[in-house]
Amino acid sequence: DLDGLKYEPLLEVPQQRELGEKGHSVILSLRIMTNKKYKKHVMKSETEHADGAAGEKQAKVEQEEFEEFVTMDAGSGIVHTAPGHGQTDNFVGRHYGLPQVCPVDEHGHLTEKAGRFAGLSTSDANPAIVDFLKEEGKVMHSDYFTHRAAVCWRCKTPLIFRLSPQWYMKVDSLKEAILAANEKINWMPSFGRTRFQNWIADREDWCLSQQRYWGIPIPIWVCGKCGAKKVVGSRKELVENSLKPLEEGSLTDLHRHSVDSIELKCGACGGTMRRVKDIFTVWFDSGVTPWASLGYPFKNKELFEKMFPVALICESQDQIRGWFDALMLCSMAAFGKPSYQAVALMGWVLDEKGEKMSKSLGNVINAREGVEELGADASRLYYCNEIAPWEVQNFSKKNAGELLRNLSIFYNVLSFYRMYAPPDFKPVDLTPAVLAIEDKWLLSRLDTVSREVTEHFEKFEFHMVGRKLLDFAVNDFSRWYVKRVRDRVSPSAPEQDKRVCLSVMRQALETTARLFAPVTPFLSEYAFQQLRLSKDEKSIHYCTYPCGNSSDSELEKIMSAAMQVTELAASARQEAGIKLRWTIREIIVTGSETHAQCINQLNTLLCSACNSLSIKFLEKPPAGNQYVSASRDDFKVYLLKTLDEELKNTALFRELTRAIQESRKKNGFNVGESILLSVHADESTYEFLKSKATELKSAVGAATLSIVPQIEELSGQFEAQAQLEEKKAIAKYNKS
């Protein structure tokens, strides 16, 4: 038990004599602490063996103010505290009334108060003190142990904390107003409001001063005679109060080298006033930036009052304790209102494995190199797609590259449009009467996506912006709409419908490019210039942003069901080994009312998309094992898998058409360039191909077509073949 034991100072140094009896205190006896896990400071009733004064002081402090820094499984059982060296120590020292002494100077050396150890650095003093105690026979045991310690962020030199006089901003008087203002700020995401609220609620007074050379000098002059203080608010005021004559124009650089030598006359006693040698912390600089950067109130007053507070600031989450805090404190103190109306919080960017990027680890991705490898647009799109902007981002070049490939699909649609639209193409008026149902759907989806993307931008949900735009451009526009309208824009398609289809495509391309513009500015500008008419703006970035004002939700709903049916039909084909180019006899769908409406209203479109002669909706599944099926959630698709002779001939016809088209492309033929074509087929398919001659000529761009019974009758430089089971067809052709 420690109670009643006399404390004998280990060192006879001036600092120890200054501490006197307050240099030590028995707070808890060993007997009280036995079998008791120390978490917080004990209540007054538990300090029966402690100094009475300690118990009285304990009653004045809220228990939750103490940290759990005392443990029973490490150390000597004696808690050492140095009120002049560290925040926690200072708090505990003030609580027990200990003197706030600091026998270390600004260079990290012990002062004369350390007696024989004066002049030693703190690191050199440690072994010297231990050696001296050993010589005096006052050491029972000494050892080394590893622990966490503060180091310089730049050079990793160990740091020590020391008490020194500083200038502070009093925060308590601002807290209530700040917390009320915080409720009106739009934090994105919303958890930022709570975090900032918690930070401000526990905010201590703000230390504004630093002892450095470079920085903004604190404009306070102190009288050496009476201690009066004067705050100088302008260059003009400094010139007017200077003891020595100054030209206002000569004070062009208000830093220490020019202002430290300027002395003022004290208005209270007539003494000499000199500037305090401190500078402002750089966080104070950033806190007053909104008006200081404009020279307010001496100039740009109207501009500042118009722009302040700013609509939005954006930084990483750690700035809750940094820039956001500095801006709030300064503006509330100066103007009684926040500097900002909304805050967007960004997450940190780590490497692909989730580790912090560091030169020492060799995992830093140079921004310029990343842009050169991926392109600026792909890099920007990555951050608007991969993850919410406030989440930690594990940057992956592979994922960014995949996004670029997806984005290129949209530009393939642009190439497709330019392939079929003449250079002087003028869009037609897109009235409902001239639009096909797939046209109406695409324009409706475009309107819906415009509205949704605008909402996501406003809510700081950038990841949803990229996802919605890519989904529309890749799945809705390219993989669905363009596939449905290929025949409508072919050279043999009716001219008026072709113009309507190309006009719809152009409007969708131009609007999609505008939607992408804030995210992918360069590719969007490229697309716009390819589509731009003489009456259009010179740049896409001069255009208004599409916001969406009308859409057909019911049409979008049933078209979504049609896309689901088509996807399941493709899955069933894959299971049955039936290529999509091969026409099938029948598809049956069972499911919800939405799917029934889809089959009823979009039957022709679905038959074309699924390449089936018939699609039906039934309440019950079909009987028999001649069907192959695929299902999802609330509906199921059944595909008749048997191919009769007619279907096989049709399949061969499709294979031959594709083979000729691929051969044309391989051999450098343009879309509008016609060919002279001859085709031979075996006896089982010969008559069928003759009946399809007109359709084949149109599909492959043939000026003439000969269906010949003998293979020797074929003529042409280029060749294409197609085969289905025992059926085979061969084609040869030349340029027209």
Specify whether 393 is located in the same domain as 498.
yes
Among residues 546, 545, 541, which one has the least CA distance to residue 521?
541
**Mean pLDDT on 278-293:** 94
In this structure, are residues 499 and 428 in contact, taking their beta carbons and an 8 Å threshold?
yes
Q: Is the pTM of this model over 0.75?
A: no
Domain-located, residue 579? yes
Question: What are the backbone dihedrals phi and psi of residue 222, each rounded to the nearest 5 degrees, phi first?
Answer: -120, 135
8 or 539, which is more confident: 539
pLDDT value of residue 7: 55
pLDDT value of residue 678: 94
Domain-located, residue 374? no
Specify whether 26 is located in the same domain as 113.
yes
pLDDT beyond 80 at 50: no
pLDDT beyond 80 at 54: no
pLDDT value of residue 413: 94
Domain-located, residue 548? no
Q: How far apart are CA 185 and CA 197, in angstroms?
A: 11
Question: What are the backbone dihedrals phi and psi of residue 170, each rounded to the nearest 5 degrees, phi first?
Answer: -75, 115
pLDDT value of residue 45: 41
pLDDT value of residue 140: 82
397-439 pLDDT tens trace: 888 888 888 888 999 999 999 999 988 898 999 999 999 999 9
Q: How far apart are CA 207 and CA 169, in angstroms?
A: 6
pLDDT value of residue 75: 62
Token pair belonging to 7: 């404390």
Beta-bridge partner residues of 110: 104
Instruction: Count how many domains the chain has.
Output: 5
Under the banding of pLDDT at 50, 70 and 90, the label for residue 370 is confident
> Which domain CATH number covers 701?
3.30.2320
Under the banding of pLDDT at 50, 70 and 90, the label for residue 660 is very high
126-165 pLDDT tens trace: 999 899 888 888 888 888 888 888 898 888 888 989 988 9
Using the 8-state DSSP alphabet, how is residue 109 labeled? B
Q: How far apart are CA 518 and CA 400, in angstroms?
A: 18
Cα angle for residues 47, 51, 54 (degrees, 5° grid): 75
684-712 pLDDT tens trace: 889 899 999 999 998 899 999 999 989 99
Specify whether 486 is located in the same domain as 610.
no
The residue from 481, 503, 536 where one domain ends is 536
pLDDT value of residue 19: 62
pLDDT beyond 80 at 48: no
3-state secondary structure of 46: helix
**Mean pLDDT on 15-22:** 60
Out of 41-45, 481-485, 506-510, which region has the weakest mean confidence (pLDDT)? Answer: 41-45
Specify whether 176 is located in the same domain as 315.
yes
Specify whether 529 is located in the same domain as 620.
no
Domain-located, residue 545? no
Q: How far apart are CA 292 and CA 287, in angstroms?
A: 9
75-111 pLDDT tens trace: 665 677 888 888 888 888 887 777 888 889 988 999 9
Domain-located, residue 373? no
Map tokens 């096909």 to a residue: 436
Percent of the chain with pLDDT over 90: 53
Specify whether 630 is located in the same domain as 678.
no
pLDDT beyond 60 at 60: no
pLDDT value of residue 39: 37
Among residues 111, 124, 123, 110, which one has the least CA distance to residue 159?
123
pLDDT value of residue 145: 80
Domain-located, residue 614? yes
pLDDT beyond 70 at 22: no
Specify whether 558 is located in the same domain as 515.
no
Domain-located, residue 283? yes
376-398 pLDDT tens trace: 888 888 888 888 888 888 888 88
Specify whether 443 is located in the same domain as 517.
yes
Domain-located, residue 699? yes
Specify whether 28 is located in the same domain as 124.
yes
Peptide bond into 189 cis (omega under 30): yes
CA dihedral 453, 458, 463, 468 (to 10 degrees): -10
Specify whether 586 is located in the same domain as 505.
no
Specify whether 60 is located in the same domain as 75.
yes
3-state secondary structure of 312: coil
Give strand ranges (E) for 386-522. 393-394
Question: What are the backbone dihedrals phi and psi of residue 409, each rounded to the nearest 5 degrees, phi first?
Answer: -60, -40
The residue from 642, 669, 686 where one domain ends is 642
**Mean pLDDT on 666-675:** 89
Question: What are the backbone dihedrals phi and psi of residue 729, each rounded to the nearest 5 degrees, phi first?
Answer: -140, 140
pLDDT value of residue 49: 33
Strand duo 702-708 + 718-724: pairing? unpaired
57 or 286, which is more confident: 286
> Which domain CATH number covers 210?
3.40.50.620
The residue from 117, 135, 153 where one domain ends is 135
Specify whether 124 is located in the same domain as 181.
no
590-645 pLDDT tens trace: 988 999 999 999 999 999 999 999 999 998 889 888 999 999 888 899 999 888 88
What is the domain range of residue 472? 379-536
Map tokens 């089959």 to a residue: 599
**Mean pLDDT on 18-37:** 48
Query: What radius of gyration, in Å, describes the C-alpha atoms of the chain?
Result: 40
In this structure, are residues 616 and 627 in contact, taking their beta carbons and an 8 Å threshold?
no
> Which domain CATH number covers 115?
3.90.740
